[in-house]
A and B are shown apart, each in its own frame.
Chain A
Amino acid sequence: MFAVTRNARDGRKRARLFSRTGASVLRIIFSLLITFLGLLLVTFLIGRILPIDPVLAAVGDHASEAVYQRVKEEMGLNLPLWKQFFLYISNIFQGDFGRSVLTSNPVLDDIKRVFPATLELATLATIIGVSLGIPAGVFAAINKGKWPDHIVRILGLAGHSMPIFWLGLMGLLVFYMKLGWVAGPGRLDSFYLDFIEPTTGLMLVDTLIEGDMDLFWNAVSHIILPASILAYFSLAYIARMTRSFMLEQLSQEYILTARVKGISEHRIIWRHALGNVMVPLITVIALSYASLLEGSVLTEIIFAWPGLGLYITNSLLNADMNAVLGGTVVVGAVFIGVNMLSDVLYRVLDPRARR
C-alpha cells in the first residue's frame, strides 16, 4: 500500500495548499480525481502484471478449456490493456465497481460489508491507543530516565516489535481460553449471527439500534481483544512520539518562564507543554488511524474478522481485480479523508493556522 500512502500524502499537500490560497473547491476536486485516477491506474497495472491468472478464481482448476476461454472473454481479458482500463473507469463513473469473482457480489456491496468491520475495530483501537498512549508518553517524559520512563519505553518497544500473529493468539489463549474474560474469534457468537441485520454494518451500533443489550455486550466482548491488540501497537507508537515531543517542549524557554512565574507543574505539563505537543501529535495519530483502517490482515485472520484487509489480500492473491481496485479506492479515500480531518483539527488546535 506504499503507493496509496504516497499518493494520498501528495493529495493532502495539494489539498492544504489550495485551501490556504483560497483556491476553488473545484480545483481540490480536480486534484482528488487525478489522485484517484493515478491510484487506480497503478493498481490496475500491478494487477495485470501479477503472475496470477484471474480466470482461475472464476472457473477453478478443473474447468474444461472451452469454459475457460468463454469466461476469459466474458471477463474482458482478451481486450487490449488500455481498453480494459478505459472500460473499468467508465463503469466506475456510472457507479459500477463491477462484481467480485470470489464472492459473486457487486464490489460495492462487499465493501459496504467489510469496511464497517474494519472501521469499527480501527476506531476503537485508536480510541484506546490514544487515551492510554498520550498519558503514558507524558508520564514517561516527566519522569525521564527514571523507572516509569523505562517501563513505558520497554512496553513501547515490545508493542512495536512483537509479531501481531503471536500476540493475537496469546491474547486468545489467555483471555478467551484460560480466563474466559472475552469472547472468541468472530464479531458475534455464531448463534447471534443470523439475528442481526446490518444497518450501519458497525456491530456495536447495529446492536444498539436493535435495542438488544445482550447482543451489544456480546459484540463488545468480541471486539475488545482484537481492538486492544491493535491498540497496543498504536499505543506504543503514540506513547513514544508523545514522549519525544514532550521532552522537546519541556526544554523550551517558555516552560522555564512559566515555572519562574510560579505556575503549577500540573498546569505547565498538561496545558502549556501538551497543548503545543497536540499539533504534531495529530499527524501521528491520524497516520496510525489511517493505517489501521487499511485493515490488519493478520489480526483479521486470527480473529475471524471479516474486514477490509482480508478482503483486499484475498482478492489480490486471486487476481480478483474488481475487488482489489474497489478496496484500493476505499483505502485511498480513507487516507485523504483522515488527512483532511487532521487539517481541520490543526486549525482548531493551532491558533496560528486559523489566521
Chain B
Amino acid sequence: MRKLIAGLVMGTALVTTSMAAMAETPKNALVMAFAIDDIITLDPAQIFEFSGAEYAGNTYDRLIGFDNDDVSKMYGVIATSWDVSEDGKTFTFKIRDGIKFASGNDLTAEDAAFSLQRVILLDQSPAFILGQFGFTPENVKDKIRATDSSTLVMEVDKPYAPSFVLYCLTAGVGAVIDKEEVLAHEKDGDLGHEWLTTNYAGSGPFALNKWTAGESLSLTANEDYWDGAPAMKRVIIRNVKEAASQQLLLQKGDIDIARNLEADQIASIESNPDVKFLSKGKGALWYLGLSQKNDYLSKPEVREALKYLVDYDGIAKTILAGRAQIHQAFLPEGFLGAYNENPYSLDVEKAKSILADAGLGDGFSVTMDTRNTTAIMAMAQSIQATWAQAGINLEIIPGDGKQTLTKYRARQHDIYIGRWGPDYQDPHTNASTFAWNPDNADDATAKPLAWRNAWNPGAMTAETDAATLERDDKKRAAMYLDLQKKVLESGPFVIMFQETEIASMRKNVNNFVLGPSFDNNYYRFITKD
C-alpha cells in the first residue's frame, strides 16, 4: 500500500510538472480577466449593464461619439455631419458611405432609423434615454426616419438643448444594427430581439465570436473596419469574479489585463516591474441616501450635520485607495456644468453644534442598509465610527446587493449607502434623479432617487425640466451649477466620492482606452510590444 500511495503521488507530480509551461499570450490577441457575469443580454436595445455596455461599445458603431478627455467635443462616427433646425426640433444626420456590417450588408440611413425605432418599440430598460424626447411606439416610425439612403431625420417634441439630444445618442441605445440581418431572425414580431440577445449584427471594430454566460466572451477583429482594423485580432474576456485570482493570472502573464483588482491587490503588485496601471475617472458616485420618512433625517440640521461627519479623506485614501476621488455634487467631474468644489470635510465639533442647535445634542439612532462587499462595509464602518463621535448611533444592516436595493426602492430604509452611475453623458441624467421628483406619493409613476428618499425638491423639479430646454450651453451649465449647490445644501444626499476605474495590465500592453463610462472603454487601439 505504501508503494501504491507513493506511486500515486509521484504520478500526479510527474504528470503536472510535464504540463507546466510558461504562458505568454500571443502578440496579436488580448486576454482579459473581468467580472462579466452581469451581462444578461447582447442586444444594444436592452443592454444596461457595465460589461454589456463595454461589449456594445466595442462591437457596434453609434451615430456620434465624444472625446473621452473632453466630452464637450463631439465627433461623427456613422454620421459624418448633423444639423439642427432653426426651431431646434429637427435633427438631420448625414450617414457615412461605404460602411459594411459583419454580414456584408451595406449600412444605410435605413438601418440607423430602424435601430433607433427598435429601441422605442422594444421598450426595454434603456429605452427612456430616447423616449424622453417624445418618441412612443405609435409615433416613432414617423418621427425617426430615413429620407434617403444617407439621410436620417429625427423630430423631437420640444426644442431641447441640442447637446442633450446628441449626448443621448452617444449612449448604447444609439448603436446602429443591421436591419436585414436582425429581421431575418425575427420571431413573433420581436424585431429579432430574442436572436440578438445572444448574437451579433453590427459594424464595429470587433465582432462577437462567442458568448458563454458566466464563463467567457470572445471577439474577433473586423478586418474591414472603416476606421482601420484593430491590431488585436482576437479579444478573449474571461469571467473571473475573484480579484485575488485575477491578480495571480496577471502576475503569471496568463492574461494581459485584469479589470477588477481591489485596493489591497493593487498595493501588492504596485512594485511589480511587469505590471502597469491605467486609471480614469468614471461617472459613478458613492453617496448616502437619507430617507425623509425618518423623523431625524428629515430635519435640515441633521442633513447638514451628517455631511460634516464623513471622513472623506480617510476613506478615499485607505479604503478606496486610488479607486475614487472626493466629489460632493451630483454631477461627476467631466460633465457639462459639474460643480467640482467640495465644501464639506470631517468636522465633528461643527456637526455637534449643529445637532445641538436642533435639539439633538444627545444624538439619536438610525439604521443603514449596506451591501456586504468589502469596500462598502469598510466605508459604512468608517461612517459609523465618525457618527458615534457626534453621538449618533448608526446600526449597519448588511445584505446582499439586490436585497438592500429592493428595500431602498420600496422606501423602507433609513439610510442607504449606494453607488449611482449616469445613464448617458448629459447632465440631465443625474439632475433628473437627484433634483427632480414630480410626485412624492408612495404610488408615484416616476421614481427617481429623490423619490426613493421621499424628498420633495420643490421648485428644483421645474428648474431641472427648464434646463433641458436651454439651448445656450453656457447658460445651461450655470443652471446645473445652481441646482447642484442647492442639492448639496439641502438635499437628502451625502455624496462622497466619484469612482475611478483602474485597469491593471502587463507592461507590454499599450493604448487601452478607458472612457468616462463603460461604453467608451475601447480595445481597438490596443497594441502589444
Chain A residues with a Cβ under 8 A of chain B: 50-53, 56-67, 70, 101-105, 110, 113-114, 131-132, 135-136, 138-139, 169, 172-173, 175-177, 179-186, 189-191, 193-194, 217-218, 220-221, 224, 228, 301-304, 306, 310-311, 314, 317-319
Contact = CB atoms under 8 A, between A and B. Distances in A.
A59 B4 contact: no
Q: Report the contact-size class of chain B (Cβ under 8 Å from the partner).
A: 35 or more
Contacts of A102: 37, 40, 213-214
Given A62-B48, A189-B254, A302 B244 contact: yes
A306 B245 contact: no
B407 A51 contact: yes
A132 B213 contact: no
Contact of A65 (B216, B238, B446): B446
19 contacts: A51-B399, A51-B407, A56-B409, A63-B126, A64-B128, A64-B446, A67-B125, A132-B8, A179-B20, A180-B20, A181-B19, A181-B20, A184-B254, A185-B248, A185-B249, A194-B236, A224-B15, A301-B245, A319-B402
B187 interface: no
A101 B19 contact: no
B128 A67 contact: yes
B402 A318 contact: yes
Contacts of A60: 48-49, 125
Contacts of A172: 245, 248
Contacts of A64: 125, 127-128, 131, 446
A63 B448 CA distance: 10
Contact of A193 (B126, B128, B218, B244): B218
Contact of B210 (A194, A301, A318): A194
B5 A135 contact: yes
Contacts of A189: 23, 254
Given A193-B216, A224-B16, A306-B214, 5 more contacts: A62-B48, A67-B125, A172-B248, A184-B248, A193-B218
B19 A194 contact: no
B81 interface: no
Given A103-B40, A110-B213, A193 B238 contact: yes
Given A58-B40, A176-B248, A319-B402, A104 B197 contact: yes
B19 A67 contact: no
Say whether chain B's binding surface is mostly helix, strand, loop, or mixed. mixed
Contacts of B31: 190-191
A170 B92 CA distance: 60
Nearest to A131: B8
A65 B124 CA distance: 11
Contacts, number: 184
A194 B29 CA distance: 13
A199 B491 CA distance: 58
A37 to B, nearest CB: 28
Contacts of A177: 248, 251-252
A220 B214 contact: no
A220 B244 CA distance: 22
Contacts of A110: 213
B243 to A, nearest CB: 10
A136 B1 CA distance: 10
Contact of B241 (A180, A183, A304, A311): A304
Given A177-B252, A302-B245, A303-B245, A132 B236 contact: no
Interface in B168-214: 197-198, 209-210, 212-214
A185 B40 contact: no
Contacts of B40: 57-58, 101-104
Contacts of B409: 53, 56, 61
Nearest to B406: A53
A103 to B, nearest CB: 4
Contact of B17 (A61, A132, A181, A318): A181
B274 interface: no
Contacts of A70: 123
Contacts of B244: 169, 302
Pairs A-B, 9 closest by C-beta atoms: A103-B213, A63-B125, A53-B406, A221-B19, A306-B215, A180-B20, A304-B240, A64-B128, A181-B16
Given A70-B123, A184-B254, A224-B16, A56 B405 contact: yes
Contacts of B248: 172-173, 176-177, 184-185
A217 B19 contact: yes
Nearest to A57: B402
B400 interface: yes
A190 B20 contact: no
A228 B20 CA distance: 17
Nearest to B245: A185
Interface in B367-421: 399-403, 405-407, 409
Contact of B19 (A193, A218, A310): A218
Contacts of A136: 5
Nearest to B49: A60
B15 A220 contact: yes
B12 A224 contact: yes
B447 to A, nearest CB: 5
Contacts of A173: 248
A51 B403 contact: yes
A59 B22 CA distance: 43
Contacts of B242: 185, 301-302, 304
B443 to A, nearest CB: 10
B377 to A, nearest CB: 16
B238 A190 contact: yes
A221 B17 CA distance: 9
Interface string B126-161: 111001000000000000000000000000000000
B445 interface: yes
B214 A103 contact: yes
Contacts of A58: 40
B458 interface: no
A52 B403 contact: yes
Interface string B246-263: 001101101100000000
Nearest to A305: B215
Of listed B8, B212, B218, residue having the most chain A CB within 10 A = B212
A66 B17 contact: no
Contacts of A63: 48, 124-126, 128
Of listed B209, B248, B407, B444, residue having the most chain A CB within 10 A = B248
A257 to B, nearest CB: 24
B402 A56 contact: yes
B239 interface: yes
B25 interface: yes
B252 to A, nearest CB: 6
A62 B125 contact: yes
Of listed A104, A183, A194, residue having the most chain B CB within 10 A = A104
B192 to A, nearest CB: 14
